[in-house]
């Protein structure tokens, strides 16, 4: 702008000097003076026109620079919103994965915690343009809701996991697959013909070499030979319960092994005091023997 003002001032000074010189010589050569004045006027006009064009060009350049900066600022805001959206998508994926785990642990219906499933919403109100500030505020609220939901579901997952551990530590299945009970718990005739006896477990039919399976999670507390039982495995389930599996042809675990429900711990056989291949199964709680059938539920009832 200082440059433009300088051009304008120079043009005005030049025109003033030209007029003054023409006045001095007006009496001598009026025609020549008129021509000089006309030329000076045209120069002034051209100078002023050029100055105006430069001012317009400068204003347009400034406006374009401001628009460019506005676009850059808008893009920065869009990029920031995109980053927030990416974080929300990651949280949604985490909640979905957590929901899948809860569905399996709690044995819920498929899709109970499916956060990708569209939710039905509606309303009769007319829509309007949303301000950028409202959008940012809305994203923040969704982010806070996700955080609260994630915390609550994590607590629920921990509780369900503890329940699952407790449930898996309870005897709840037969020690042999696809079998049936051949001898029940309690008083019975001695199979060797020596009168009566108190049978402290139940016997399951099996073939030599069939897998003997632990009925709950636990740690092997005994694996070896015991009089009358032959090869025997005992599993401590950490909640006061101990299960015993006897007459095995061989044991496949050792003391200290961590076993999960359904894990093979031995091969069925007829070692010890036995008339034939089977699996003798006992359940103890804090040193007191129980009838195992009540822990088998429907399994024991169906296979009597």
Those residues with Cβ within 8 angstroms of residue 277's Cβ, 6 or more apart along the chain or in another chain: 206, 207, 208, 210, 247, 249, 268, 269, 270
Phi, psi dihedrals of residue 147, rounded to the nearest 5°: -65, -45
Is residue 173 situated within a structural domain? no
Q: Give the three-state DSSP class for 270.
A: coil
* DSSP β-ladder status, 241-248 and 278-285: antiparallel
Q: Find out whether 100 and 113 touch, Cβ atoms under 8 Å.
A: yes
Can you name the residues that pair with 243 across neighbouring β-strands? 235, 283
Give me the tens of pLDDT residue by residue for the chain, a chain 304 residues long: 544 444 455 455 555 565 555 555 545 555 555 555 555 555 555 655 667 788 878 888 888 888 888 888 878 877 777 777 777 777 777 777 777 777 666 666 655 555 566 666 666 677 777 677 777 777 777 777 777 777 767 776 676 666 676 777 788 888 999 889 988 898 888 777 767 888 899 999 999 999 999 999 999 999 999 999 999 999 999 888 999 999 999 999 999 999 999 999 999 999 998 989 999 999 999 999 999 988 886 444 344 3
Contact between 288 and 250 (Cβ < 8 Å): no
The answer to whether the CB of 247 falls within 8 A of the CB of 271 is yes
Examine the domain organization and report whether 32 and 86 are in the same domain: yes
Same domain, 162 and 244: no
> Alpha-carbon distance 178 to 62, whole Å?
87
The span from the CA of 156 to the CA of 162, in Å, is 10
Inside any domain, residue 122: no
Report the first-to-last Cα separation within the chain, whole angstroms: 106
pLDDT at position 49 is 63
Residues 98 and 244 in one domain: no
Task: Give the Cα separation of 174 and 245 in Å (integer).
Answer: 11
Three-class DSSP category at 165: helix
Q: How far apart are CA 249 and CA 232, in angstroms?
A: 9
In a domain, 151, yes or no: yes
Q: Do 37 and 102 have their domain in common?
A: yes
Question: 163 and 209 share a domain?
Answer: no
Alpha carbon distance 17, 69 (integer Å): 46
Residue 119, domain member (yes or no): no
Give domain status of residue 239, yes or no.
yes
Q: What gap in Å lies between CA 174 and CA 159, rounded to an integer?
A: 27
23 within domain boundaries = yes
Q: Which of 38, 37, 32, 3 is nearest to 17 (CA)?
A: 37
Q: What is the pLDDT of residue 125?
A: 72
Residues 40, 43: Cα–Cα separation, whole Å: 5
Tell me the H-state helices in the chain.
2-24, 30-105, 132-168, 293-296, 298-302
Q: How many domains, the chain?
A: 2
What number of other Cβ atoms are within 10 A of residue 67's Cβ?
A: 10
Q: Domain range spanning residue 260?
A: 181-302
């Amino acid at each position: 702008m200082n440059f433009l003002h300088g051009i304008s001032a120079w043009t005005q000074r030049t025109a003033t000097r030209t007029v003054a010189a023409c006045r001095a010589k007006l009496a001598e050569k009026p025609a020549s003076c008129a021509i000089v004045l006309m030329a000076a006027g045209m120069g002034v006009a051209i100078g002023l026109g050029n100055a105006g064009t430069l001012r317009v060009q400068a204003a347009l350049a400034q406006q374009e620079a401001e628009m460019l900066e506005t676009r850059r600022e808008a893009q920065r805001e869009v990029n920031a919103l995109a980053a927030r959206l990416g974080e929300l998508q990651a949280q949604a994926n985490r909640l979905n994965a957590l929901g899948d785990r809860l569905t399996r642990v709690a044995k819920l219906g498929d899709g109970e915690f499916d956060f990708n499933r569209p939710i039905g919403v509606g309303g009769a109100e007319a829509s309007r343009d949303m301000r950028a500030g409202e959008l940012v505020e809305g994203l923040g609220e969704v982010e806070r809701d996700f955080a609260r939901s994630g915390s609550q579901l994590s607590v629920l997952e921990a509780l369900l996991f503890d329940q699952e551990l407790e449930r898996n530590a309870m005897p709840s299945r037969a020690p042999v697959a696809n079998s049936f009970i051949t001898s029940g718990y309690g008083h019975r005739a001695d199979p060797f013909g020596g009168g009566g006896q108190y049978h402290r477990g139940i016997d399951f039919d099996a073939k030599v070499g069939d897998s003997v399976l632990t009925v709950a999670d636990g740690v092997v507390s005994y694996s070896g030979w015991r009089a009358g039982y032959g090869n025997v495995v005992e599993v401590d389930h950490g909640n006061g319960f101990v299960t015993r599996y006897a007459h095995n042809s061989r044991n496949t675990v050792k003391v200290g092994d961590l076993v999960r429900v359904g894990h093979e711990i031995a091969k069925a056989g007829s070692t010890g005091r036995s008339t034939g291949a089977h699996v003798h199964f006992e359940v103890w709680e804090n040193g007191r023997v129980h009838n195992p059938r009540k822990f088998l539920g429907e399994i024991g009832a169906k296979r009597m």
